[in-house]
Amino acid sequence: MTYAVVDSPLGPLTLVGTDAGELTGLFMDKQRYRPDRTRFGDRDDSALSGAAEQLDEYFHHGRTTFDVPLLLTGTDFQRRIWAALQDIPYGVTTTYGGLAADLGLKPQSARAVGLANGKNPVSIIVPCHRLVGSTGSLTGYGGGIERKRALLAHERGEKLLIG
């Protein structure tokens, strides 16, 4: 395992990955469910350069999709939700219940979808910020509601402002 810290308009982002270049984590500072840094391996800011480059393109040069190799560790249900998140188009939001329905789950599964979404280890690239509450309200985000609001505004073509 190795990690790199890159600058972004949202503050520093910690990229964690395997020696083979697969991204296993993307964490913001003060993020909920952030693993202890000692589990990230050695710091090498030149590592995971493909992910860093694609994030820079997303924030500054109009990139709307990512093709970074991912290695996501979670339950089968969590991985199913994270895969479905990657199918939500840039600039589009859906509700927790809507995603549950798209996956053929029962309406009461919206809460389970939200819990799995909250455990997403690769924010932004696996776009958990595109899930909203049933009324369109911005609910929970591991990096903070202000960052979720900023990411959604960025995807609507607005200037990405944080803080």
Could you state, in order of their start, the residue ranges of all structural domains in the chain?
Answer: 2-60, 76-155
Q: What is the pLDDT of residue 107?
A: 83
* Class of domain 2-60 as given by CATH: alpha beta
pLDDT band at 163 (very low <50, low <70, confident <90, very high): low
Q: Across 31-40, 64-73, 128-137, which has the greatest mean pLDDT?
A: 64-73
Q: Cβ distance 45 to 3 under 8 Å?
A: no
4, 70, 128, 150: the active-site residue: 128
Q: pLDDT tens for residues 38-74?
A: 889 999 999 999 999 999 999 999 999 999 999 999 9
Sign, CA dihedral 144-82-86-38, equals: positive
Strands (DSSP E) contained in the chain are 2-6, 13-17, 23-28, 42-43, 94-95, 131-132
Q: Decide yes or no: CATH 1.10.10.10 for domain 76-155.
A: yes
**Known catalytic membership, residue 118:** no
Name the pTM for this structure.
Answer: 0.92
